[in-house]
A = this chain, B = another copy of it.
Amino acid sequence: MAKESEGAAVRERSGRGRGRRPMDEVRADVLRTVGELLLAEGTADLTFERVARLSGVSKTTLYKWWPSKGALALDGHFHAVQETLAFPDTGDIRADLLEQLRAFAHVMTRTPGGRVLAELIGQAQTDAELASAYRELYSSQRRRLAVERLGRARESGQIRADVNLQVLVDQLWGAVYHRLLIPDEPVTDDFLVALVDNLLIGIGPHSGHD
């Protein structure tokens, strides 16, 4: 596509002049564009070229903010799922975890977003830069949000005071990732319920439903 028609597409889409908006707003715009692309199509057609055209931001600026396609995809995905994967707080940790885990399983198994993440995790195993982008832009932030909600449950006495909350992240969402990355067993609703109840109730003979 020639430069002129790209410029036209930008003006058509953005409906405003160039270089006048605050940087944060421009960034948010780009992330929204990338997020929409990813949830609709996955990473196959995600290129800096296309994102530049759709968002009206130069490739040079895009590369400055996101040094690789992986970083751009991760940041876009994080923002695209931020609301869907928010941690509800009704005061009932069991119900809230289940609701969030169901939303998470839906994104991961029913939208291209699941493939996007699995492929980026896959690629990160042999790409140290992508691995650190993954942690910075996605997983450590998701982990922090989960631990915040779990922390409130611990404060309110729904989780025992001596429990390490980081470990719970691995035994809930990590267990789901395990089934997504090594799909010997499916991610079903029964699975999600069991993840939560195994922890809240325990699996030992003296643990019990109250």
Contacts and interface: CB of A to CB of B under 8 A. Distances in A.
B195 A203 contact: no
Contact of A175 (B118, B125, B171, B207): B171
Nearest to A142: B184
Interface centre among A170, A178, A203, A208 (most CB of B within 10 A): A203
A126 interface: yes
Q: Bin chain A's interface residue count.
A: 35 or more
Contact of A174 (B139, B178, B190): B178
A179 interface: yes
Contacts of A191: 167, 170
A182 B74 CA distance: 14
Contacts of A123: 122, 125
Nearest to A161: B205
A109 interface: no
Main SS class of interface, A: helix
A161 to B, nearest CB: 9
B184 A143 contact: yes
A163 interface: yes
Given A125-B121, A158-B205, A199 B200 contact: no
Interface of A: 118-119, 121-126, 131, 134-135, 139-140, 143, 157-160, 163-164, 166-168, 170-171, 173-179, 181-185, 190-191, 194-195, 198-208, 210
